[in-house]
Amino acid sequence: MNRFATTAFSMGHMARSAIALSLLLGSTALQAQAPADQPLPLPMEEVRIFTEALDNIRNAYVQPIDDKTLLEYAIKGMLAGLDPHSAYLNSQDYDSLQETTNGEFGGLGIEVGEEDGFIKVITPIDDTPASRAGILPGDLIIEIDGQLLRELPINEAVELMRGEIGTSIELGIMREGEPETLEFTLVREVIEVASVRQRALEPGYAYLRISQFKINTGEEVLEALTEIKAEHPELKGLVLDLRNNPGGILQASVDVVDAFISEGRIVYTQGRHNQSELEYFANEDDPSEGVPVVVLINSGSASAAEIVAGALQDHGRAVIMGTRSFGKGSVQTVMPLANDRAIKLTTSLYYTPDGRSIQAQGISPDIEIEEGLVTRTTGRAGITEENLEGHLRNGNDLDDVVREPTPSVTAEQVVVTDYQLQEALTLLRGLNILESARARQSRLATRATDTSLPDDGVTAR
């Protein structure tokens, strides 16, 4: 440390703050990169370049800028240069992250990222001003209240979108396929995120959606399964919708998978240090009771959503349907700093039970179904033999031959407006038909054995 200080002062016109930061960086690097008994030499040339750059900015920038701000920018730059998910969190960012994780915050209800200098909508959160206004995944927010956002840091754009509850905000949206900018006026409100919702699709089939993974998502899934089973005592199939789910807390994804399997590994992580290497296994209970499951994913399904899809796919517990997922296979650890600040640092990669890394690859669905809309035809149904007066009966006297009622549709008409969900429901019906056919064959075989002639010594002539 003395050697470094002497060298740094010999360079001349060095800011004390730069020396302090360099000392800190050197100390941190030693701790992270080598054991205490094998210290690495400080990268003196790089430290010299950094301090010279800092001094030039302080003395020559068009406007005066204090050392505290410059050093904060330096930390931001370090983390931004690592990967898209590591970041420096000032006090406001840190508060926002905690609010989002806990599931309640004020704003519009949009998950955003950056693309080509613009703010890109990853997904609107269900039942929020953004989703109700019709904002879609992939939209580019180019204006907020008339202010162009080109090259505006994402954290500043997020702050512009947040504000006092009940106040309005105007967004300029660029959408693929639309020749002109779309204008949306939204009213800010408290965003209370219900991460799990469920409803009936038709008798015997249910729909369960997870919009994001927060602290108590696992508990919400267990409650939803209990309600579903109460409404459908003979549940034939379940659609688990993870589309446009940006992820969230790792443990929450583990809890969700554990609700559908009763044994085996769920996910594991690998990093540079032992504390980053974790492994999660299922408990013996199976709250889902083995009901057939179809999982819907798309390019907006990321992180924790991919953990769930990958685990259920590897265990053969569900059919994965939709389009390839986002491919975020890294785990971020939030490390608090002084003065209510923190860094969000990528510390490990996660792997599916079979050892697949999802990073930059995503989960490939078992059945690829593109998004689309389905319309129901109207008019007179076709005439069949059973419609003809005096038609012959078919002679099937088996008790298990029962005509299924015409499937019902929810009030939201979701199965006729959501093509992927319609296909998932069709697949579940097919799986149930196949299982019913196997059971029927088993009963017929048993019945044939029971009705055979007794061995009474009489031979038929």
Q: What is the pLDDT averaged over residues 343-365? A: 95
Do both 244 and 319 map to the same domain? Answer: yes
Which pLDDT score, from 0 to 100, does residue 96 have?
73
Do both 111 and 170 map to the same domain? Answer: yes
Do both 285 and 359 map to the same domain? Answer: yes
Domain that holds residue 73: 2-81
* Residue predicted with more confidence, 237 or 41: 237
314 is catalytic: yes
Q: Is the pLDDT of residue 2 over 80?
A: no
Do both 164 and 246 map to the same domain? Answer: no
Do both 47 and 116 map to the same domain? Answer: no
Do both 221 and 141 map to the same domain? Answer: no
Q: What is the pLDDT of residues 179-230, one digit of tens each?
A: 999 999 999 998 776 789 999 999 999 999 998 899 999 999 999 999 999 9
Do both 188 and 205 map to the same domain? Answer: no
Do both 266 and 291 map to the same domain? Answer: yes
Q: What is the pLDDT averaged over residues 21-41? A: 44
Do both 234 and 174 map to the same domain? Answer: no
Q: Is the pLDDT of residue 124 over 90?
A: no
Q: What is the pLDDT of residues 155-164, one digit of tens each?
A: 778 878 888 8
Q: Is the pLDDT of residue 400 over 50?
A: no
Among the candidates 368, 393, 420, a domain finishes at 368
Q: What is the pLDDT averaged over residues 374-397? A: 58
Which pLDDT score, from 0 to 100, does residue 150 have?
76
Among the candidates 314, 343, 368, a domain finishes at 368
| % of the chain beyond a pLDDT of 70 | 77
* Residue predicted with more confidence, 372 or 376: 372
Q: What is the pLDDT averaged over residues 360-375? A: 86
For residue 283, what pLDDT band results from cuts at 50, 70 and 90?
very high
Among the candidates 167, 192, 217, a domain finishes at 192
76 is catalytic: no
* Residue predicted with more confidence, 437 or 30: 437
Cβ–Cβ < 8 Å for 130, 110: yes
Which pLDDT score, from 0 to 100, does residue 103 have?
62
The catalytic residue among 126, 241, 314, 418 is 314
pTM: 0.68
Residue 123 belongs to a domain with what CATH number? 2.30.42.10
Q: What is the pLDDT averaged over residues 335-359? A: 93
Which pLDDT score, from 0 to 100, does residue 1 have?
37
Residue 353 belongs to a domain with what CATH number? 3.90.226.10
- Determine, yes or no, domain membership for 442: no
SS3 for the chain is CHHHHHHHHHCCCCCHHHHHHHHHHHHHHHHHHCCCCCCCCCCHHHHHHHHHHHHHHHHHCCCCCCHHHHHHHHHHHHHHCCCCCCEEECHHHHHHHHHHHHCEEEECCEEEEEECCEEEEEEECCCCHHHHHCCCCCCEEEEECCEECCCCCHHHHHHHHCCCCCCEEEEEEECCCCCCCEEEEEECEEEECCCEEEEEEECCEEEEEECCECCCHHHHHHHHHHHHHHHCCCCCEEEEECCCCCCECHHHHHHHHHCCCCCCEEEEEEECCHHHCCEEECCCCCCCCCCCEEEEECCCCCCHHHHHHHHHHHCCCCEEEECCCCCCCEEEEEEEECCCEEEEEEEEEEECCCCCECCCCCCCCCEECCCCCCCCCCCCCCCCHHHCCCCCCCCCCCCCCCCCCCCCCCCCCHHHHCHHHHHHHHHHHHHHHHHHHHHHHHHHHHHHHHCCCCCCCCCCC
d(CA 248, CA 237): 26
Which pLDDT score, from 0 to 100, does residue 391 have?
67
For residue 389, what pLDDT band results from cuts at 50, 70 and 90?
low
| % of the chain beyond a pLDDT of 90 | 53
* Residue predicted with more confidence, 93 or 300: 300
* Residue predicted with more confidence, 448 or 9: 448
Q: What is the pLDDT averaged over residues 236-260? A: 95
The mean pLDDT of the chain is 81
Do both 232 and 317 map to the same domain? Answer: yes
The catalytic residue among 22, 211, 301, 303 is 303
- Determine, yes or no, domain membership for 267: yes
328 is catalytic: yes
Do both 277 and 178 map to the same domain? Answer: no
Q: Give how many domains the chain has, as a whole number.
A: 3
Do both 288 and 361 map to the same domain? Answer: yes
- Determine, yes or no, domain membership for 419: no
Q: What is the pLDDT averaged over residues 279-308? A: 96
Other residues' Cβ atoms within 10 Å of the Cβ of residue 431: 16
The catalytic residue among 328, 330, 344, 348 is 328
- Determine, yes or no, domain membership for 131: yes
Which pLDDT score, from 0 to 100, does residue 8 have?
32
- Determine, yes or no, domain membership for 387: no
- Determine, yes or no, domain membership for 391: no
- Determine, yes or no, domain membership for 286: yes
For residue 382, what pLDDT band results from cuts at 50, 70 and 90?
low
- Determine, yes or no, domain membership for 378: no
Q: What is the pLDDT of residues 403-442, one digit of tens each?
A: 444 344 443 444 457 899 999 999 999 999 988 888 888 8
